[in-house]
Amino acid sequence: MNKKILAIGVAAALSVTAVGMMAGCGPTGSGEAETAMDIVAAVAREAGSGTRGAFDELVANAEGNTIDDALEGGALASVVSEESSTAAVITNVARSYGILGYASLGSYLENTDTVQAVNVNGVEATRENILSGDYELSRPFMLCYQNYDELSDLAKNLISFIESTEGQAIVGEDYINLPEVEDAAGEYTPYTGSETTLTITGSTSVEPLMQDLVAAFEAANPGNNFTVTITGSGSGAGIADAQEGRNDIGMSSRALTDEEKETLTEHQIATDGIAVIVKLGSELTNVTFDQLYNLYINGTPIVVGEED
């Protein structure tokens, strides 16, 4: 028996050293697979997510029915899994060439080492194409608050920063500026007011952009004595917080509903594309709305190499 234990111990020690040598950063790659594999499975976001809402509303089949229409009384195909975060979508897509998913364009651009975007209806997901409307998968990034006049000076100053030349440059790095705001953008006047705290809560999709903006905002106010807190709790939570006065500004990755607009003002700060992504190296280059609809609703595989 002792010999057995010894054997187990030796085997364990060997594997420790063997794998220890390969230590690196990031997840280890899964096995190689065919890059021309058909797309047979898909990843969706959970109901209520801003990304999912925009995707379901926009993607329609040849007859003009959207995924939203199909879901009323129906359900997604059984080959579709739901994930609660962009990271989970990207990690899952990166597992196999047979899986397709969608994610915020900004998040995708940070993960081009594992996944790649495909053209949608023959159009590439670029800034120009989204602005011109040729690339059809996009959604607004919104701020929301009860009333602009009642905002604190600090909040107003942050918004003026976002809409200044400097702020618009940051928006333009990963997301798409609103042309009218970008054209009117000018010099930013540093904050001189007396408020010291600003709480921002809401959409996890808007959160990374807001973090970059606030970091630059703080840098633009050297020697500042204010603190800005950003919490990514989801669009719904951000809107509810704004309604009940638990934050100064709410973030939403979807337009507000008419009911929400009764109590809140929405303020668009950027447009975000939704990238359709597959594992890096896949030979799939283009998908049509009809193919996406059929994959997500009927589970019909997308055959790679047949696209036009």
Interacting residue with other proteins among 199, 285, 286, 294 (CB under 8 A): 199
Which is closer to other proteins, CB of 130 or CB of 213?
213
- Residue 98 touching other proteins (CB under 8 A): yes
Helix (H, G, I), strand (E, B) or coil at 267: strand
Q: How far apart are CA 294 and CA 77, in angstroms?
A: 9
The set of residues, in sequence order, having a beta carbon less than 8 Å from that of 201 and lying 6+ positions away, is: 230, 231, 232, 233, 237, 238, 241, 246, 247, 250, 251
Q: Which stretch binds other proteins (CB under 8 A): 87-95, 118-126, 160-168, 290-298?
A: 87-95
Contact, 206 vs 236, CB < 8 A?
Answer: no
Least Å from the CB of residue 183 to other proteins: 26
- CA separation for the pair 57, 270 (Å, rounded): 19
Size of the site for other proteins (CB under 8 A): 91
Options 58, 70, 79, 249; binder of other proteins; rule CB under 8 A: 79
Considering only residues 201 through 240, tell me which ones interact with other proteins, judged by CB under 8 A: 201, 204-205, 207-208, 211-212, 214-215, 218, 227-237, 239-240
Q: Does 65 bind other proteins (CB under 8 A)?
A: no
Pairing assessment for the beta strands 115-120 and 265-279 based on DSSP bridges: antiparallel
Q: Which parts of 18-57 interact with other proteins (CB under 8 A)?
A: 19-20, 22-28, 30-31, 33, 37, 39-41, 46-50, 53
- Between helix 165-174 and helix 153-162 the angle, nearest 10°, is 60
Q: Of residues 270-289, which lie at the interface with other proteins (CB under 8 A)?
A: none
Question: 86-92: long-range contacts at Cβ-Cβ below 8 A with a sequence spacing of 24 or more?
Answer: 86/51, 86/204, 86/205, 88/43, 89/43, 89/45, 89/277, 90/114, 90/115, 90/277, 91/27, 92/43
Distance CA 277, CA 88 (A): 13
C-beta of 251: minimal distance to other proteins in Å? 12
Among 244, 281, 283, 303, binds other proteins (CB under 8 A): 244
The amino acid occupying position 156 is K
- What gap in Å lies between CA 233 and CA 38, rounded to an integer? 36
- The answer to whether the beta carbons of residues 170 and 101 sit under 8 Å apart is no
85 binds other proteins (CB under 8 A): yes
Smaller CB distance to other proteins: residue 126 or 243? 243
Under rule CB under 8 A, which residues in 1-20 are in contact with other proteins?
1-2, 4-6, 8-9, 12, 15-16, 19-20
Q: Give the rounded distance of the alpha carbon of 107 from its chain centre.
A: 5
For other proteins, which residue of 58, 59, 60, 99 counts as binding (CB under 8 A)? 99
Tokens of 269: 């700060």
Cβ closest to other proteins, residue 46 vs residue 128: 46
Instruction: Between 133 and 245, name the residue whose CB sits nearer to other proteins.
Output: 245
**Residues in 111-150 at the binding interface with other proteins, rule: CB under 8 A:** 111
Least spacing, CB of residue 118 vs other proteins, in Å: 16
| Cα dist from 107 to 4, 129, 130, 137, 162, whole Å | 50, 18, 16, 15, 20
Task: Report, in Å, the least distance between residue 203 CB and other proteins.
Answer: 9
CB of 214 to other proteins, least distance (A): 5
**Pick 186 or 281: Cβ nearer other proteins:** 281
